[in-house]
Structure 1
Amino acid sequence: MSKGYIYIILSAIIFSTMEIAGKVVSKEINPFELNFLRFLIGALILLPLAIKDLRKRKIDLNKNDVGYFFISGFLCIFVSMSFFQLAIVYTKASTVAIVFSTNPVFTIPFAYFLLKEQLNKNTIFSLLISLLGLICILNPFNIHSDIKGIVLAILAAITFSFYSVIGKMRSDRYGSIIMNCFTFLAGNFIMLFLMLISHIQYIVKLNEKAGLSLLSNIPIIYGINQGNIFTLMYLGIVVTGLGYLFYFYAMEETSATTASIVFFIKPALAPILSLMVLHESISSNTILGILFILIGSYITFIGRSSRSNTGITEIKNIKI
């Protein structure tokens, strides 16, 4: 087996545990605090490689670059990943993993309008099939108590897709490691600002009136103890640091299209791991939704393979 496929397997397994690890500590650590700490650790893991890449590419970051990273950090960390962490609080880890894995499909319309990438029957069909899968998971004929979590997971997937397209606009200049490392750092700076102002009494009262208590008095390191420190480090070092790194290496050894197999594996693997670790049951409508999403992802993957063979530009940023 080639190194590229080993990296794909490793990253698929690691990314499939992301929601599980988040669920384990969700009752002890504020979701925004967890979001901040996870990406801070991940950014520090990637930083030496990003600095090395900056020198290799002979890039001197300017105000324009910093502004761009703040935009991407706002979309990825502050918006998308906040929705993601909140989704884990309100619904099953397996459901979040399945729904979030649809983000490459949502990339299609964004890429069409912003990057002027071509749309064909296959891409439209894959989008419709994946949306049908989401409808099955939502189960509109029998709305259940975790509907809030599912909606948050969908918002996380959609906003991450938007971030991916924004990232594509400068992917040739920065490359994946620089792009994601400095996006993490900029996003964390914004998160830290949110966490600090959440302690202002006026903000606390506004959040309480709006029923947004999670946005009040957000701690920075509160709730971390001997029981959850290893899970937190796993999320930061293994999932956000090594997981991304293995995915980068997979793209280098194979291609962005081949490496995207990771997101074909995750919707199938994550529910199995959630069942084993968290004992989360999988309903029949969720299983049906998984099948539709897998079919939609497969059609998307085949479409990207065809486009890459004909030289048409493809989205190369991470879809995790």
Structure 2
Amino acid sequence: MKNIYFLLPALAGIMFGSSGIFVRTLTENGIDPTTLLFLRFSIAAVVMFVCVLLTDKSLFKIKKEYLPYFIIAAISIVGLNLCYNEAMNSIHLSLAAVLLGTSPIFVIIGAYFTLGEKITVKKIGSMFLAIVGCILASGFLESSIGSISLIGVLGGVGAAIFCAVYTLDSTKVINKGCHTYCILFYSLILIVILLLPFTNFGQINHYVNVNQLSNVLFLILHSFISFALPYICLTTALNYVESGVASILLSGCEPIAALIFGIICYFEIPTVLMLCGLVIVIVALVILCKPSKKEEVKV
């Protein structure tokens, strides 16, 4: 029965990998970036409210010292999603996922300065492999510079950086005793308030009125599958699965899922070098996330 929990991080990766379908569809139907995020997070906030309610009502009570962390988390989540959405609209879904998947590299660098975590030989080797893999996966060696969307690549890298900031921020506040659901819920509340002035409700009204039942269902699925459910799966899995193992399953499944969805839905056929790059990045992340049995040499 316990083995079932190993499927949850993989399932989260697959759901994250499918988010490009929702983003591209909504963008093609006239939904601008900030309105898209408002739709995603307002629905997700309701889901997280229910999760906190069912998990432990006391989680609604927070300490004042948590507020700065919630603000940083909210900014990070918005930045991550804006950058990642831009990447998914500009470059192959698999490349966008690969670039986002390099966030552990930025976590390592950030943790060295903010948490005092050591940088090891394994970490440096993994970072080098990941960079090589990203270069291959981008198609840069096979295409002219003009054929690659610089905005898309920068969006993917930006998403990875914001993801790293969120990870470091969450680590700090969790160490202070705050639950993951609590961080997400209050961050989402702040995000919804922040996005309200920038949300185009006319776009939402137009999209819904085109086909009320199917489009409302699509918006709900968009929020559930691309944000709420993956985080719930991950949080649940971490109660039964080592964080390193969960990270490996998540980071491995997301780009593979994005690759498959890109091929099926958008005919984004990768070259052999791009596939090699994808594999190299996944291997680098597996090496990076896999816990060592012996203490590594500090660099």
Deviation at 1:268, TM superposition (A): 2.1
Q: Which residue of 1 aligns with 2:259?
A: 271
Deviation at 1:90, TM superposition (A): 2.0
Determine the C-alpha separation between the residues in 2 that align with 1:228 and 1:281. 29
Q: Which residue of 1 aligns with 2:278?
A: 290
Q: Which residue of 2 aligns with 1:151?
A: 154
Please report the TM-score for the alignment, with normalisation by the length of structure 2: 0.85
Deviations 1:112-131 (A, max 9, x none): 11111121100111111111
Determine the C-alpha separation between the residues in 2 that align with 1:223 and 1:275. 30
Q: Which residue of 2 aligns with 1:165?
A: 168
Can you give the 5+ residue segments of structure 2 that lack an aligned partner in the other structure? none
Alignment of 1:167-316 (within 5 A): 167-172=170-175, 173-193=177-197, 195=198, 221-225=204-208, 226=211, 228-260=215-247, 261-302=249-290, 305-306=291-292
Deviation at 1:164, TM superposition (A): 0.9
Deviation at 1:178, TM superposition (A): 1.3
Deviation at 1:167, TM superposition (A): 1.3
Distance 1:169 1:230, change over 3 A: same
Q: Is the 8 A contact 1:42 1:241 kept in 2?
A: yes
Displaced runs of 4 or more, over 6 A: none
Determine the C-alpha separation between the residues in 2 that align with 1:74 and 1:12. 23
Deviation at 1:51, TM superposition (A): 4.4
Distance 1:121 1:218, change over 3 A: farther
Aligned-partner SS, 1:169: helix
Q: Is the 8 A contact 1:87 1:96 kept in 2?
A: yes
Can you give the 5+ residue segments of structure 1 that lack an aligned partner in the other structure? 197-216, 311-320
Q: Which residue of 2 aligns with 1:122?
A: 122
The one-letter code of the counterpart of 1:121 is V
Matched-pair identity in %: 20
Deviation at 1:56, TM superposition (A): 4.7
Determine the C-alpha separation between the residues in 1 that align with 2:279 and 2:202. 40
Deviation at 1:52, TM superposition (A): 5.2
Deviation at 1:176, TM superposition (A): 1.6
Deviation at 1:219, TM superposition (A): 5.8
Q: Is the 8 A contact 1:19 1:97 kept in 2?
A: no
The one-letter code of the counterpart of 1:6 is L
Determine the C-alpha separation between the residues in 2 that align with 1:219 and 1:100. 31
Please report the TM-score for the alignment, with normalisation by the length of structure 1: 0.80
Deviations 1:133-192 (A, max 9, x none): 222234445212422212111111112111211111111321221112222221222222
Give aligned pairs, total: 284
Distance 1:66 1:181, change over 3 A: same
